[in-house]
Amino acid sequence: MLWKGQEKTKPNIPTASMGDIAFLIIIFFMTSTVFTRDKGIKMLLPEKTDLEAIVKVVPENIVMITINPSGEINVKSSNLDRYLTSQQYDLVREIIEAKLRERDTLLVVSVRTSPDAPYRCMIGILDQIKLARVRVADGREVEANKISLIPIQEQP
């Protein structure tokens, strides 16, 4: 109820400190936000060499693992040609360990993956290769540390 001579007051919100509050919120979010960095696959890649330094590898020392677009695995070596399903990663480890016992540090593992193959298949194979370790007769522990990753070229 208004009395005579009294003006109607309009409600208002004080905005003098709005800028301060906005900057405080911006500073809070800038200092509390954490950006995670994807790590990817850690692999030590060899340096580029000239044509004279290319090393010839004896075919008996190579295990070739091929992953087709449906995720099936083919393991080939000088005396082995075996097809595996995408759930049989542990057999890859056993095959690599058997070859390590035969070939010691000379073993080279070549992984050929189709661009259409599921990513988890290649990662599963790489994990099993890295887990493969054997203790040889003289007490050393040998692992497959010569790994070659080659994409399969699709034919037109």
Q: Which domain holds residue 120?
A: 57-151
Question: Structure tokens of 69?
Answer: 């677009």
Q: Is residue 129 situated within a structural domain?
A: yes
**What mean pLDDT do residues 17-26 have?**
91
From residue 36, give the alpha-carbon distance in Å to each of 33, 39, 66, 112, 150.
10, 9, 33, 31, 29
Which has the higher per-residue pLDDT, 28 or 133? 28
- pLDDT, tens digit, 9 for 90 and up, residues 100-135: 888 776 788 889 988 888 888 888 888 888 888 888
**What mean pLDDT do residues 87-105 have?**
83
One DSSP character per residue, 56-106 reads P--GGGEEEEEE-TTS-EEEEETTEEEEE-TT-HHHHHHHHHHHHHHHGGG
Q: What is the mean pLDDT of the chain?
A: 81
Half-sphere exposure of 95 (CA within 13 A, CB side): 26
Q: Is residue 45 situated within a structural domain?
A: no
Quote the radius of gyration of the chain (alpha carbons, Å): 31
Q: Is residue 17 situated within a structural domain?
A: no
Q: What is the pLDDT of residue 148?
A: 80
Q: Is residue 32 situated within a structural domain?
A: no
Q: Is residue 130 situated within a structural domain?
A: yes
Q: Which residues contact 119 (CB under 8 A, 6 or more apart)?
A: none
CATH classification at residue 72: 3.30.420.270
Say what the pTM is.
Answer: 0.64
Question: Structure tokens of 92?
Answer: 């890859």
Nearest residue to 78 (alpha-carbon basis) of 54, 55, 97, 102: 102
- Taking the C-alpha atoms of residue 43 and residue 19, their distance in angstroms, rounded to an integer, is 49
The count of structural domains within the chain is 1
